[in-house]
Amino acid sequence: MNRKKTFRIFLLVVSILAIYKIVDYYVTDKVDAYLKTQQISYDAVSVNLLLGNITLKNVASKKDSLQFTTEKLEIEGISYYQYLKNKAISIGSLKTINAKVTGKITRNKTNKETKKEEHSNISKKASLDLKIANIEFKNVAIDIIKNDNFPLTVQNISFKVNDFELDDTQNKTIPFLYDQIEVSIMGFDTQYSKVQKVKFSKLNFDKNNLTLDSLEIVPLKPRENYIYHVSEEKELMTFLSKKIIISDIKIEEKEKFNFTANHILFDEVFFNLYLDGTVLEHSNKRKDLYSKSLRDLPINIDIKNVDIKNSKIVYEEYTIKGNKPGILKFDDLNAQISNINNNSNRENNVTAAKIQSKFMQYSSLDIEWTFDINNKNDNFRITGSLFDVNSKSMSSFLLPTMNVKMDGYIGKMYFDFEGNDFTSNGKLNLDFKKFNIKVLDKDKSKKKLISWLANLFIKDASKNGIVKVEIEDVERDTTKSFWNFFWKNIEKGLQNSLI
């Protein structure tokens, strides 16, 4: 009796194992056939029917001109229950190891009717119910050509996502939900124009905090000929930052895409702009003030505080052939900016900035600047002070760009300007000493008659003493930046002070 029972048990086990192997082989064959229809190639496939696991080795997949390869692709914990009951795909984990993306991104050109038809077809399709508890991609490398025909390379990307859920029921910018995400990117490098590229050594995103090390935006062409590789007059940029930290990031999508952050730190920034103004005509394209630029963003942003520390800004302008570029330097720059947002429903939308710097290395400069994005006239106020400016600093920009040399000394300058998108008014108080103007010809020799006439009209008080002037109705050139408008107010104040 015991032998018969034992034999029956043995027979049952063998039958179960045989059925399992047959089903396992059948499922593996079906998986293999399905993957081939999806244009996915691999060296080997392994299916564990009991645990719901699928492992692929040396996987390659091609979509248009892009190719994805990985040494191993692991799918674990497929839920049969969720699929049979709810027609939902529920996966415990999805992992790749040593993946690479190569090829070229191609831009699909579609007209409006095609887009409407595609949107209609998507709407008719039943949404895919996909949930993955854990996603982990390790050591992903990217070497592609973007749709602008410029290269993009990344040495290593690794990321983890918890509680991923596909949400394609609505036309959203981010068509998925997640609980937590961690990202590490190393060796990012891409060209975005004929004359500029951007790169950084490392990016980490963890627990809603982002750290970016060694960000660089650098020229690809020399100053001598970059202007021949652009379609309109523009500056050549160099931007270096040792570290950028963004804290408490929140990203949501309701009616619009929303980005919020509690604090952003820029540490040890070097920002250089170089303009060659001798070749192309100045662009007639409108440049909005910062308040309007924020107001018109396609996304909502809300950044509580921004700090810029231990930084330097250099502006250079080459306007007269044969001369050196005019130069303005702002060393030891620190700034505190609060309430950068474009929420039109908020009562207080005043953005405030406080800036401290050394102008041309030695002169203390302090600026306070406010504007309100809710104000459709783009009202702003900018106040500040500048101390101890010598003649060398004053002539560093005026001499190369205008062939005008200033001798003398500015002990103190106080300014207070209020304006909008059209005009500005304000006050300028100056303390000059031993001030005079020299107008030079192309050979740098002094034009005595013109210089004598210029100094003849300089107010006696301005040569030694304090001058207080009102600045009225300074018109803004809408093709130039806010800082050009600010300079025009300073320039008008100097003219009123001297003449």
CA distance 366 to 57: 62
Q: Which amino acid does the sequence have at 150?
A: F
Q: Is the dihedral of CA 485, 486, 490, 493 positive or negative?
A: positive
- Give the pLDDT mean for 136-160: 95
- Give the pLDDT mean for 179-195: 95
pLDDT tens for 196-212 read 999 999 999 998 999 99
Q: pLDDT category, 399, cuts 50, 70, 90?
A: low
Q: Which amino acid does the sequence have at 41?
A: S
- Residue 208 DSSP code: T
Q: pLDDT category, 445, cuts 50, 70, 90?
A: low
CA distance 110 to 115: 7
SS3 state of residue 15: helix
Which of 166-175, 353-362, 377-386, 387-396 comes out lowest in average pLDDT? Answer: 166-175
Q: Is the pLDDT of residue 161 over 90?
A: yes
Do residues 205 and 198 make contact, with C-beta atoms less than 8 angstroms apart? no
Query: Closest Cα to residue 85, out of 48, 124, 129?
Result: 129
Q: Is the pLDDT of residue 397 over 60?
A: yes
Q: Is the pLDDT of residue 2 over 70?
A: no
- The 3-class SS string of 317-345 reads EECCCCCCCEEEEEEEEEEEEEEEECCCC
CA distances from 288 to 282, 292, 323, 366 (A): 16, 6, 31, 24
More confident residue, 360 or 172: 360
Do residues 67 and 102 make contact, with C-beta atoms less than 8 angstroms apart? yes
Query: Closest Cα to residue 46, out of 37, 59, 64?
Result: 59
The set of residues, in sequence order, having a beta carbon less than 8 Å from that of 494 and lying 6+ positions away, is: 428, 430
Strands (DSSP E) along 375-422, which ranges? 380-390, 404-419
Residue 191, beta-bridge partner list? 197
